[in-house]
A and B are shown apart, each in its own frame.
Chain A
Amino acid sequence: MLFSRLIARRVRLISGLVLLLFVAGHLSNLALGLASVDAMERWRGVLLRPWQTGFGQALLLVAAIVHAGLGLASLASRRSLAMGRTDWVQLLLGLATPPLLVNHVVGGQVTSDLVARFSADYGFVLAVYWRYAPLLALQQLLVVVIVWTHGAIGLYSTLVLRRSWRRLAPIVVPILFAIPILALLGFAHAGEAVLARLATDTAWRALIEQNLRILQEMGHRLNVIEGGVFLVYGMAVALVVGILVVNILRQRRTRVMVSYDGGLTAVGRVGMSVLEVSRANDIPHASVCGGRARCGTCRIIVPADADLDSPAEAELATLDRVKAPPGARLACQAHLLGRPVSVRRVYPAFVDAEAAREPGSWSAATEPDLETVP
């Protein structure tokens, strides 16, 4: 690793927030379609202009590449696919986003960057989607839901671990629901208006068709750009999947016994984390953040000489935050090295985010009697 996991995590979060902020603005703009197409166009200057400057575009591009790259990197560093349901959803939605989104970005923004007389205003884009290329519209609708779901889940799982969540939740949750629904309603409403105008306003229709011709003339160049993006992304994904498969296959014959409190035992492979072993063997194990070393609820107590890799910076920070006693490890970060390991889970499997927000209240109740067990 070039830089520590802790920094990578923060960068990933910040890049994700930047992207989510942009998407939120974009979708809010779409929601104005409930008023009129003109309103969308007027507010575009406010909501989207900052992102269309050189700096804004660069920031978005960097954020997108960094976010995707870090996501792929963390996928490549996995040693098992024993993930929670939320993680699977996030992974698949995240992987699906770039290929679905690329023609929207290229067709809209790149073309207007390249060709001066091409104006991709809302009227034109809506006309294309509703009248001339309905299949693209279906694709974009799908990607709206996918991107927003990915972002909302990411935001929720970050915020829910913070103490301020109780105060934030009544504001954040309705916004998370309202933005995509209003955007879709706005899209539908504006689409009706655009279709009506296309039928009556022939001059406007001619303008649209002229713009379309530009797009068709550009078609070859756009296809080259899209093809390039697809190629790079496809290669990156193939590389990551290849690394993942090789890593899993290389260790597939190793067997490491993990024995739990309560007489449970499980078998894992070298390189799997203890949490992944629990998940793969249906052993109840608390894990609020899903294995990102953030919540501290997957904590285990291990003997001093346990054959596990040494804790990294992110894990130490979390253990310090939850005031864990010596001998504690995070199950999601403690990877098996080869010899059998015996662990004791600290939290019952049914803890919720409250245990991560207020580690003190849980530790006070549970840890003293656990200390007495050897």
Chain B
Amino acid sequence: MRARSLAGAIALFFAGAASSPASAGELAFQRLAELVSVDVSANLQALQDDFAQAPAEAQRLGAAIAAALSDGTAVRAVTFVLILVIVGAGLEWLYWTFAAAPLRGIVSGSTATPREAAVLALRRLGLLGFGLVLFTASTVGAALLLPWPANVDAMVIAATALVVALRSACIVADVVVSPHHPSLRLAPIQQYKSGFVVGGVAWLSILAATAILLPQLLTTVASAPHLAGTIRVGIGALIVISLLAAVLIASRQGSGSGKSRRERPRFPKAFIVTFVIVATAILALAGGGRIAALLVDIAIVAALLGASKRIVSFFWRDATGRDEEPVTETVPDMRPLIVLAVVRFAILLMGIAGLILIMRVPLAELTTGSNPLARFTLRVADTVALAFVVYLGWIAIRFTIDRRLRLLAPLDPHSPPTENTRLLTLLPLLRTTLAIVFVTLFTLSALWTLGVQIAPLLAGAGIFGLAVGFGAQTLVRDVISGVFFLIEDVFRIGEYIESGTSTKGTVEHISFRTVALRHHNGPLTFVPYGLLGTVRNDSRDWVIDKFNIPLPLSVDSEKIRKMIKGIGEDMTLDPELGQLIREPLKGKLYRVDPGVKIFRCKFMTAPGCQFDVRTAALKRIEAALVEAGVSFAGAGPQTILVRRAPDP
């Protein structure tokens, strides 16, 4: 049932008619074809009617205007309009006598980063916007007080709306493009284009506002619907021509630079944009305004999504570096990514809101969910919101981990361990785990939001999991014991561990199921956690090393003990060895065997340093014995040839 209604919703969505969900299904295509053919012929017929009857209506309108002139209506209306101008423009002028100085202060300041420019632009927008609000409020307020002649009030409202629309478009364009103050510019536009952009925006906003307001006015006040239709088509044609001209100019200027030959061929934007404009115009003529508006909405959302990365990186162009070479030294900044996510989400939301507005879905249907299209749209919006939240969370976590890792030194398994090794071991693992958790949760939630029942899925996974579970007992054991090894901090990357009898080596890599051990002879052993068993960690805290020295029975034990102790104290004073030694070398008579006295020496060092220290100790002991004329005890009489080192 769910899947059926979903398919119906999609079909209706494309048909552009949200009437009844029952007749969807296999009839959708047929209905679509019927709808389209009926709409097109009806629309074209309506257009013909408009053109045929517009002149008569225009004549009637002209006569009405002439009549209004002679009976005083027009004079009265113009008088009142001029009062509105005095009140609105005058109050705004008064505002600017106070606000002009702060505005000059903003535009004469210099900015260090594009973000500062954005803040200043917001302030500028606030100042300019308040002026506009004041103008609008005072004009409307004065208009409400005046006794207008019949029908004039609608015209005044339309004219005010036109002025306000034009001015707001100009204010926004001026703040964003900022033709006179390049340092405050919020968009990657060259100086010579900026005036063109503001002018174009103003022109298009005049056209668009006129196309909306004038036909409405003609229909309601002058009751000339055909003239309204004709004017709508005429202004629409003007808009299309202006847009095409803008595309032409923009593409000319874009390809004019000489270096373009070396670059890879770009996405043919100009062609696509031209296609979309022409297609919208044709759709608007033939299929009615709604489907054209849908196309425009989708095209705008697509264009904004495509440009969003460029727009956001524009504000961090000082931080992310100019071209291909990324700045590797600095810690990565996660703000641009979060802002990018927010921007994309906002764009998508606005696109969906636009869809809802265009489809004229009543709010009641949205809340009760009786309209399948509305329900589907809402579900898509939900999913988008969920994706947004998950993405934001993921970015925040990933960047916190990456930042932390970047701040700690890069991890080399064979360098001496520091206090950060545990973090360096766990953080990458945490990152991967969280990625998997996020993706799983998001997939399940998205499916659930879109109306797919996930309970059977989970149940199915449960039975399947049981089957697999028997086969994958070891896998589970490995993962679980791995979790506990890591929680209990049994080993970290860079530590030398021994497990059981034969498996030993330096921990190089930790994954979900195995640990990779580098044997000191080179081979890399991958040991599943489950097989690790008892782990002997040779790299913790300290090591004690012991070794025996066999000497002849004739030596003086006390003298040898003191000699070894002296050597041990010397070694602690050595600048290199001294750092490694925790407790100095000591020796004592351990056993007396036939023909040999065995002295046992011991010392304590940092983990992994015992071999170096032992070598050094033996070397020094040997040298001291030679000095004292004592030879090592052997199995029988031996002749020892000793080459004395030259005196230093």
CA A192 to CA B149, docked complex, whole Å: 12
CA A185 to CA B147, docked complex, whole Å: 11
Whether A184 lies near B79 (C-beta < 8 A) is yes
Contacts A141-B82, A188-B79 given; does A195 touch B104 at CB 8 Å: no
Contacts A145-B85, A188-B79 given; does A134 touch B104 at CB 8 Å: no
Contacts A145-B86, A191-B72 given; does A348 touch B78 at CB 8 Å: no
**B75 beta carbon closer than 8 Å to chain A:** yes
Whether A145 lies near B102 (C-beta < 8 A) is no
Whether A192 lies near B74 (C-beta < 8 A) is no
Whether B79 lies near A187 (C-beta < 8 A) is yes
Q: Which chain B positions have C-beta within 8 A of A282?
A: 180-181
Shortest beta-carbon distance, B248 to chain A, in Å?
29
Interface residues of A in 118-176 (CB under 8 A from B): 129-131, 134-135, 137-138, 141-142, 144-145, 156, 160, 173, 176
Whether B75 lies near A137 (C-beta < 8 A) is yes
Please count the residue pairs between chain A and chain B whose beta carbons lie under 8 angstroms apart in the complex: 76
CA A348 to CA B108, docked complex, whole Å: 8
Contacts A144-B82, A185-B83, A351-B101 given; does A138 touch B75 at CB 8 Å: yes
Whether A134 lies near B69 (C-beta < 8 A) is yes
- Which of A134, A145, A192 has most B Cβ within 10 Å? A134
Q: Which chain A positions have C-beta within 8 A of B94?
A: 173
Whether A130 lies near B86 (C-beta < 8 A) is no
**B80 beta carbon closer than 8 Å to chain A:** yes
Shortest beta-carbon distance, A262 to chain B, in Å?
8
Which residue of B is nearest A132, CB measured?
Answer: B70
Whether B108 lies near A129 (C-beta < 8 A) is no
CA A96 to CA B78, docked complex, whole Å: 19
Q: Which chain A positions have C-beta within 8 A of B98?
A: 352
Whether A184 lies near B105 (C-beta < 8 A) is no
Shortest beta-carbon distance, A175 to chain B, in Å?
12
Q: Which chain A positions have C-beta within 8 A of B247?
A: none
Shortest beta-carbon distance, B169 to chain A, in Å?
19
CA A351 to CA B75, docked complex, whole Å: 43
Q: Which chain B positions have C-beta within 8 A of A131?
A: 70, 72
Contacts A145-B85, A349-B105 given; does A134 touch B79 at CB 8 Å: no
Interface residues of A in 177-206 (CB under 8 A from B): 177, 180-181, 184-185, 187-188, 191-192, 195
Whether A181 lies near B102 (C-beta < 8 A) is no
Shortest beta-carbon distance, B67 to chain A, in Å?
11
- A interface bracket (residues with beta carbon within 8 Å of B): 20 to 34
Q: Which chain B positions have C-beta within 8 A of A181?
A: 83, 86-87
CA A348 to CA B98, docked complex, whole Å: 16
Q: Which chain B positions have C-beta within 8 A of A135?
A: 69
**B188 beta carbon closer than 8 Å to chain A:** no
Q: Which chain A positions have C-beta within 8 A of B100?
A: 352
Whether B75 lies near A134 (C-beta < 8 A) is yes
Q: Which chain A positions have C-beta within 8 A of B107?
A: 284
Q: Which chain A positions have C-beta within 8 A of B83?
A: 181, 184-185
**A350 beta carbon closer than 8 Å to chain B:** yes
Whether A130 lies near B72 (C-beta < 8 A) is yes
Shortest beta-carbon distance, A333 to chain B, in Å?
21
- B interface bracket (residues with beta carbon within 8 Å of A): 20 to 34
Per-residue A-contact encoding for B80-95, CB less than 8 Å = 1, 0 else: 1011011100100010
Shortest beta-carbon distance, B84 to chain A, in Å?
10
**Which of A142, A176, A284, A286 sits near B82, CB closer than 8 Å?**
A142
Which residue of B is nearest A355, CB measured?
Answer: B101
Whether B86 lies near A188 (C-beta < 8 A) is no
Shortest beta-carbon distance, A198 to chain B, in Å?
10
**B76 beta carbon closer than 8 Å to chain A:** yes
Which residue of A is nearest B102, CB measured?
Answer: A350
Q: Which chain A positions have C-beta within 8 A of B105?
A: 348-350
Q: Which chain B positions have C-beta within 8 A of A144?
A: 82
**Which of B74, B76, B87, B108 sits near A350, CB closer than 8 Å?**
B108
Q: Which chain B positions have C-beta within 8 A of A138?
A: 74-75, 78
Shortest beta-carbon distance, B171 to chain A, in Å?
15
Q: Which chain A positions have C-beta within 8 A of B69?
A: 134-135
Contacts A134-B70, A192-B72, A284-B108 given; does A141 touch B101 at CB 8 Å: no
Contacts A134-B74, A141-B79 given; does A284 touch B104 at CB 8 Å: yes
CA A160 to CA B76, docked complex, whole Å: 35
Q: Which chain A positions have C-beta within 8 A of B79?
A: 141, 184-185, 187-188, 191
Per-residue B-contact encoding for A263-290, CB less than 8 Å = 1, 0 else: 0000000000000000000101010000
**Which of B76, B87, B108 sits near A191, CB closer than 8 Å?**
B76
CA A158 to CA B21, docked complex, whole Å: 73
CA A192 to CA B76, docked complex, whole Å: 9
Which residue of A is nearest B66, CB measured?
Answer: A134
Shortest beta-carbon distance, B86 to chain A, in Å?
5
Whether A350 lies near B72 (C-beta < 8 A) is no
Shortest beta-carbon distance, A355 to chain B, in Å?
9
Q: Which chain A positions have C-beta within 8 A of B181?
A: 282
Q: Which chain B positions have C-beta within 8 A of A134?
A: 69-70, 72, 74-75
Whether A349 lies near B104 (C-beta < 8 A) is yes
CA A129 to CA B78, docked complex, whole Å: 13
Q: Which chain A positions have C-beta within 8 A of B87?
A: 177, 181
Shortest beta-carbon distance, B101 to chain A, in Å?
4
Whether B101 lies near A188 (C-beta < 8 A) is no
Shortest beta-carbon distance, A145 to chain B, in Å?
5
For the complex with contacts A284-B104, A349-B105, 9 further pairs of A-B residues with Cβ separation under 8 Å are A131-B72, A138-B78, A141-B79, A185-B83, A187-B79, A188-B76, A191-B75, A192-B72, A348-B108
The 6 closest A-B pairs by CB, nearest first: A284-B108, A350-B105, A349-B108, A352-B101, A350-B104, A134-B69
Chain A contact residues, CB within 8 Å of chain B: 129-131, 134-135, 137-138, 141-142, 144-145, 156, 160, 173, 176-177, 180-181, 184-185, 187-188, 191-192, 195, 282, 284, 286, 348-352
Chain B contact residues, CB within 8 Å of chain A: 69-72, 74-76, 78-80, 82-83, 85-87, 90, 94, 97-98, 100-102, 104-105, 107-108, 180-181
7 interchain pairs, CB-CB under 8 A? A144-B82, A177-B87, A177-B90, A188-B75, A188-B79, A191-B72, A350-B101
